[in-house]
């Protein structure tokens, strides 16, 4: 009779790593997203604390501030993948959070003399630091998550984005209304990022073999479940660039992530302005109700997580089917709700809030639906895939505030908001159709460690043994170039 190998403690260090990632995503998303509430307080001091300066910024200038974070963010997504493979997630995420903390704490002082242009510059710099986050989170999960727990640990970590969004919306309004005024929003978010840095520095490790807290049984369970060779953490696996960019499932994922980013960034950036302009809600109640949709998103993400676990454990649906069903729910229900929102005004305030809550809350299924799909397609190159997909997808949040700023000349005009929300609904719908047709959760052939190894090398070696005079066929020069170029930039494999 065979005994199942011990997994170590029920709550082990792998769960601690997931919790640290959850906290990290929470505090860094607070620093990223609180600007949508802060900008309302900065330009309408009468509804918050009038003891602090008020700025006369146009709608277009505010749209620049909202989008500027992503100007820097997209520049470090791909470099973040390589930095993480070279130095490990521990160092790179630590530096990212430190940079975010410093610039958050500097923001109020800089704004008093630099205005909206300096605000944009600070947001760009914060974006540069935060661009490395998701490649590092994905790679860290790949190194710590046994395959049977990957969905659970990964989805839990990613709920930090929802928690951070809720807190950014909810506490920012209360801080702006309180004694600290709108500067307190930056001080609180910067302090939270700094506090997380200390926790991460103490408890995080790049993999189980490096952790001083992990037990022998848990370490063996993690490493053996990932089916590593003994030299795995020292090996270099070349990146199959051509195969990745010509992979239909990866391209489908890319389109899906762009659609998700457009719809969600529209909601994140524009809900406070819509509530203030169309629903005529003052800043504190605006912040509370703006946070409700994202509170629903955070809570429903755990419902999706439990449902996915049940469906997979009981083998009711395959992983691919779970991904597509959840993604359909999280894209098409919000699409319908967004269209409805555009037809509601101040007299339908409660219904508008309900539809916005449903729209954003149900969208939390996209984490299991498509966000984790890069690990399915290629555990070995998961960080690279998330870096590539996020680089392309995060061009979108640069555009959404600018597009909304061009469409909405008068924030009180409901017809203009109908166009903004209707466009997001159409993009949600089309993006999911692409994922249904071409998406998959199966690992791709180019994930193999030896994918770029010349296929004729082994047979040529055998021929040389039997006939020394026979010369092995030359390596295709295109393949040779494909192998050599990435090897100069990669340092460590992902599982």
Residue 288 pLDDT: 66
Question: Token pair for residue 251?
Answer: 């391209």
Tally of CB atoms within 10 A around 5: 11
Closest by Cα among 20, 26, 28, 16 to 101: 28
| Burial class of residue 462 (count of CB atoms within 10 Å of its CB; 0-12, 13-18, 19+) | exposed
Per the prediction, the chain carries an average pLDDT of 81
Least confident of 102-111, 265-274, 304-313, 364-373: 265-274
Distance CA 491, CA 247 (A): 23
pLDDT of residue 4: 55
* Greater model confidence, 383 or 377: 377
| pLDDT one-digit tens code per residue, 333-361 | 989 988 887 777 777 778 878 888 888 88
Calpha distance 82→384 (Å, rounded) = 8
> Stretch 392-400: mean pLDDT, rounded?
80
Check residue 190 and give its pLDDT: 94
Confidence of residue 31 (pLDDT cuts 50, 70, 90): very high
Distance CA 369, CA 388 (A): 18
Reduced to 3 DSSP states, what percent helix, strand and coil does the chain have, rounded to the nearest 5? Answer: 75, 0, 25
Residue 452 has pLDDT above 60, yes or no: yes
First to last CA, the chain: 31
Within 10 angstroms of residue 10's Cβ, the number of other Cβ atoms is: 6
Q: What DSSP designation does 411 have?
A: T
Q: Supply the pLDDT for residue 157.
A: 92
Measured at the alpha carbon of residue 52, what is the angle toward residues 49 and 53, in degrees to the nearest 5? 130
Residue with tokens 């998959």: 440
pLDDT at 465: 44
Identify the CA nearest to 135 among candidates 89, 98, 75: 89
Whole-angstrom distance, CA of residue 160 vs CA of residue 477: 46
Q: Which of 372, 378, 383, 373 is nearest to 447 (CA)?
A: 378
Burial of 472 (0-12, 13-18, 19+ CB in 10 A): middle
What per-residue confidence (pLDDT) applies to 228? 52
Mean pLDDT of the 15-43 span: 90
Predicted confidence at residue 486, as pLDDT, reads 38
| Fold for the domain defined by 237-449 | Growth Hormone; Chain: A; (1.20.1250)
State the number of CA atoms in the 13 A half-sphere of 122 facing the CB: 24
CB 151 within 8 Å of CB 367: no
Q: 484 φ, ψ to 5°?
A: -75, -35
Mean pLDDT value across residues 32-41: 84
Residue 55 neighbours by CB distance under 10 Å: 16
Q: What is the dihedral sign for C-alpha 27, 28, 29, 35?
A: positive
> 234 exposed, middle or buried (CB, 10 Å; 0-12, 13-18, 19+)?
exposed
pLDDT of residue 462: 44
In this predicted structure, the answer to whether residue 446 has a pLDDT above a threshold of 80 is yes
**DSSP one-letter string for 393-415:** HTTHHHHHHHHHHHH-SSTT-HH
114 vs 120, 188, 398, 417, CA distance in Å?
10, 21, 22, 31
Cα(350)–Cα(207) distance, integer angstroms = 48
- 271-330 pLDDT, tens per residue? 767 777 777 766 555 566 667 777 888 889 889 989 998 998 888 999 899 999 999 999
How long is the chain?
495
**Closest by CA position to 138, among listed 164, 160, 157, 162:** 157
Which tokens belong to 391? 């680089």
Q: How far apart are the C-alpha atoms of 328 and 9, rounded to whole Å?
A: 36
Q: Around Cβ 59, how many Cβ atoms within 10 Å?
A: 17
Q: In angstroms, rounded to a whole number, what is the distance separating the alpha carbons of residues 212 and 204? A: 10
**Sign of CA pseudo-dihedral 241, 223, 13, 210:** negative
- Ranges of each domain in the chain: 14-226, 237-449
Are the CB atoms for 238 and 448 separated by under 8 Å?
A: no
492 closest CA partner among 210, 156, 98: 210
pLDDT value for 247: 95
How many CB atoms lie under 10 A from the CB of residue 257?
A: 24
Q: What CATH number does the domain located at 14-226 have?
A: 1.20.1250.20
Q: 3-state DSSP call for residue 42? A: helix
- Cα 251–Cα 256–Cα 257 angle in degrees, nearest 5: 95
User: Which residue's entry shows tokens 């509430």?
Assistant: 37
Cβ–Cβ < 8 Å for 434, 256: yes
Task: Return the closest-CA partner of residue 385 out of 93, 81, 89, 76.
Answer: 81
């Amino acid at each position: 009779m065979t005994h199942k190998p011990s997994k170590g403690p029920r709550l082990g260090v792998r769960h601690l790593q997931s919790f640290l990632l959850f906290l990290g995503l929470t505090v860094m998303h607070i620093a990223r997203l609180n600007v949508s509430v802060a900008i309302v307080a900065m330009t309408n001091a009468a509804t918050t604390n009038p003891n602090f300066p008020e700025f006369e910024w146009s709608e277009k200038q505010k749209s620049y501030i909202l989008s500027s974070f992503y100007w820097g963010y997209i520049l470090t997504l791909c470099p973040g993948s390589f930095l993480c493979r070279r130095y490990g997630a521990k160092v790179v995420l630590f530096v990212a959070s430190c940079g975010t903390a410093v610039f958050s704490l500097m923001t109020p002082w800089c704004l008093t003399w630099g205005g909206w242009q300096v605000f944009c510059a600070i947001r760009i710099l914060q974006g540069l630091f935060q661009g490395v986050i998701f490649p590092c989170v994905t790679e860290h999960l790949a190194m710590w998550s046994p395959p049977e727990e990957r969905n659970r640990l990964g989805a839990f970590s990613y709920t930090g984005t929802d928690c951070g969004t809720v807190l950014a919306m909810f506490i920012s309004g209360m801080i702006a209304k309180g004694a600290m005024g709108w500067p307190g929003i930056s001080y609180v978010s910067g302090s939270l990022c700094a506090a997380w840095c200390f926790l991460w520095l103490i408890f995080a490790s790049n993999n189980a073999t490096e952790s001083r807290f992990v037990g022998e049984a848990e370490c063996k369970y993690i490493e053996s479940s990932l089916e590593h060779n003994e030299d795995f953490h020292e090996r270099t696996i070349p990146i199959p660039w051509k195969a990745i960019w010509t992979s239909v499932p990866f391209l489908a994922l890319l389109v899906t992530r762009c659609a998700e980013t457009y719809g969600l960034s529209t909601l994140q950036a524009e809900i406070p302005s819509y509530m203030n302009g169309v629903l005529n809600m003052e800043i504190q109640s605006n912040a509370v109700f703006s946070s409700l949709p994202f509170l629903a998103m955070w809570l429903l993400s755990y419902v999706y997580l439990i449902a996915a676990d049940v469906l997979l454990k009981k083998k009711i649906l395959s992983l691919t089917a779970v991904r597509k069903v959840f993604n359909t729910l999280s894209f098409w229900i919000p699409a319908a709700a967004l269209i409805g929102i555009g037809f509601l005004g101040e007299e339908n305030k409660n219904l508008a809030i309900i539809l916005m809550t449903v729209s954003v809350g149900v969208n939390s299924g996209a984490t299991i639906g498509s966000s984790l799909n890069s690990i399915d397609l290629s555990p070995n190159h998961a960080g690279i895939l998330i870096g590539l997909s996020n680089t392309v997808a995060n061009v979108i949040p640069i555009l959404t505030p600018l597009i909304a700023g061009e469409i909405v000349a008068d924030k009180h005009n409901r017809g203009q908001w109908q166009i903004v929300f209707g466009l997001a609904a159409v993009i949600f719908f089309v993006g999911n159709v692409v994922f249904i047709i071409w998406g998959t959760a199966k690992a791709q052939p180019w994930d193999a460690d030896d994918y770029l190894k010349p296929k004729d090398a082994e047979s040529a070696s055998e021929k040389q043994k039997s006939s020394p005079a026979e010369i092995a066929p030359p390596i295709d020069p295109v393949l040779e170039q494909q192998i050599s170029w990435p090897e100069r930039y990669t340092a460590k494999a992902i599982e």
